[in-house]
Structure 1
Amino acid sequence: MTTADGASPDDRVHSASVVCRIPAAVALAFLADGLQLGRWALGCWQTVAVGDGVVRGQSLFDGQPAWVLPVVDARAASVVYHVGGAPDALTPRIRATVQPEHGGTACRIGLHAERTPDMDDARWLRLMRCHEVEVLLIDALLRQEPQIPLPLPPVALL
């Protein structure tokens, strides 16, 4: 089976991106905020803080809980999401990147995933499609937010 872009579900890496007409600093702060994650991450909806920067949400697909720790690397303008089925079993799985464009008035936001060895084709395809929709949700939400750079939220920093 191949996707519309010609990739096959057994590819090991997937990226989806969108250009947002907002400054990179605003986008990075938004992506680093675990509570905001619960507004756009289909696998971790309606997040609540559970302590030490970890949030818990639930999958829109099966209702199962998911825990996430966003770890920000401000120098690289990226956030690594450590994800797991329990707060003490988190592994780095998803990375968001922010690249300034158009003289600083816009940025490209990317979501990047690596396929884990235990992920079957159907689960991998679902993850790829989710990221393709999630970047569009991020863009829509950011266009609704105030256009001032926000400080990074209190999350784990590299």
Structure 2
Amino acid sequence: MKAGQSHITSAVVKAEARSVFARMADAQKLHRWSFGTWKTEIGEDGLVRGTSLFDGSSIHLRIDAYETRHIIDYHLGVDPQKLVPRIQVRVVPGEHVGLDSGHSVLTFIAWRSEAMDDDRWRRLTASHEMEVMLIKAMIESGQF
């Protein structure tokens, strides 16, 4: 087993949790922030096909959103029949962590597949660090 089997990154966002959650659960918005799923194509069944900015590879994704808990599982894989929930986003309401309801905490959690080499894992973790800040900036500036 390789070191670093999971990665977590978070940011406080000046927006209500339900608003942040809705944006993160919207497949139409993935291309705005996800470096791994640009040039998205969304099927009628909700299956997303995206392209990595890093190497042009294709990946499939299905969003599984739990609105009452503000949790989103992103099921990913090359084969659309074998998607696994490797990425999770949780949006914590501000009042749960001592902030007001106009704030929330956006958290990304990623689990490393055994098939990922160190370079691929580093790209993913660096992307999530940047993506969470990009999302925060876009929401707070009204662009997202």
Determine if the TM-score, normalized by the shorter chain, exceeds 0.5.
Answer: yes
1:1-158 alignment, distance < 5 Å: 10-101=3-94, 102-145=99-142
Q: Which has the higher helix share?
A: 2
Match of 1:3 in 2: none
Tell me the TM-score normalized by structure 2: 0.89
Q: In the aligned structure 2, how far is the partner of 1:141 from the partner of 1:134?
A: 10
| Structure 2 counterpart SS, 1:104 | coil
Shift of 1:68: 0.9
Q: What are the ranges of 5 or more consecutive residues in structure 2 without an aligned counterpart?
A: none
User: Runs of 4 or more off by more than 6 Å in structure 1?
Assistant: none
Q: In the aligned structure 2, how far is the partner of 1:40 from the partner of 1:146?
A: 11
Q: What are the ranges of 5 or more consecutive residues in structure 1 without an aligned counterpart?
A: 1-8, 148-158
Question: Number of aligned pairs?
Answer: 139
> Between the two proteins, what is the percent identity of the paired residues?
35
| Structure 2 counterpart SS, 1:136 | helix
Shift of 1:90: 1.3
Tell me the TM-score normalized by structure 1: 0.81
Deviations, residues 35-90 of structure 1 (Å, cap 9, x unaligned): 21111110111322112121111100111222111100112211000011132231
Shift of 1:146: 7.9
Superposition RMSD on alpha carbons, in Å?
Answer: 1.7
